[in-house]
Amino acid sequence: MLTLFFVDDLPTTVGAKYEFANEDANHAIRVLRMQSGDYFNLSDGKGNWSHVEIVEVHKKHLTVTVLESGFQEPLETTFTVIQAIPKGDRIKEAIELCTEGGADRIVMWKAARSIGKSEYKIEKLQNTAREASKQSRRFRIPAVVGVATTANIIDEIAKVDLAVVFHESATMKLSQVIVPGAKKIAIIIGPEGGLTDDEIDAFAAAGAKVALMGRPILRSAHAGLAALSAINTALSVW
């Protein structure tokens, strides 16, 4: 699959020349060693894309020609991952994995037992999602929002067809709580220290399903990807 870069001013006119000159262009020149005649994709991160060919390589920018342009429609099924803030760099790892797993929106949540910094700049996490979208060749960059309170999460539950809270004490398996045909999905991932009884009760009262992901207990930062994989498969999105 072709390398993907994001630009704010996406060229879409077939045959037009475009000066690709941002940090990604510098990476293409200095690290990837791209040459005239090479092809790659550009996108605005909102579904629009252009397939381009390099015609000239300069010191700090590339001149490319637009060969084809199009728009990728969003999938009918959308996923919001509500991620309790993990500690340290695991917050970035969680964003990367959820992006690669197909999340459309990632909500950072200050759970009762979260030990990660709630003041972590959302702008930096949005950039992490942007970089992970390039890696996974996504034409749509997921939105990273927050920091949300537990009350905010209860509001999120009301907006979806299916909300699943994962907890090791659950008696129902994920496969038993899936709602066939659900289009709007929320996945709630607790912190390393686990969800409190009050949080579980509040989410369940709001309509969320409490489910067991499996016997292995995953790190909080890794659980979102596992949940996305399982639910995408269960709903036949994958």
Residue where the block lists tokens 């700049």: 121
Same domain membership, residue 96 and residue 192: yes
In a shared domain, residues 52 and 82: no
Residue identified by tokens 């090479």 is 38
Residue 233 in contact with residue 195, Cβ under 8 Å? Answer: no
Pair of tokens at residue 176: 């038993």
Q: Which CATH number fits the domain that encloses residue 49? A: 2.40.240.20
Q: Is residue 195 domain-shared with residue 84, that is, in the same domain?
A: yes
Question: Strands, E, within the chain: which ranges?
Answer: 4-6, 17-20, 39-43, 48-57, 62-71, 78-84, 105-109, 143-148, 162-166, 184-189, 209-211
210 and 179 fall within a common domain:
yes
Burial class for 120, CB neighbours closer than 10 Å (0-12, 13-18, 19+): middle
Verify that 26 and 84 share a domain, yes or no.
no
Residue 119 pLDDT greater than 80, yes or no: no
- Say what the pTM is: 0.91
* pLDDT > 70: percent of the chain: 98
Could you say which of 71, 88, 116 is where a domain stops? 71
Q: What's the total number of domains in the chain? A: 2
pLDDT, tens digit, 9 for 90 and up, residues 163-206: 999 988 888 899 899 999 999 999 999 998 889 999 999 999 99
Residue 11 has pLDDT above 80, yes or no: yes
Q: Which range marks the domain in which residue 120 is found?
A: 78-234
Domain finish residue from 52, 71, 90: 71
Residues 54 and 129 in one domain: no
Same domain as 164, residue 130:
yes
- Does 65 share its domain with 82? no
Q: How far is it, in rounded angstroms, from Cα 227 to Cα 179? A: 15
- Of 29, 56, 71, which residue is a domain's last? 71
Please, which residues have CB within 8 angstroms of residue 168's CB and are 6 or more apart in sequence? Answer: 194, 212, 217
Mark whether 115 and 177 lie in a shared domain.
Answer: yes
Co-location of 17 and 130 in the same domain: no
134, 126, 237, 207 alpha-carbon torsion, rounded to 10°: 170
Can you give the CATH number for the domain in which 84 is found? 3.40.1280.10
Residues 47 and 165 in one domain: no
Say yes or no: 118 and 34 in one domain: no
pLDDT value for 202: 96
Distance between CA 166 and CA 151 in Å, rounded? 18
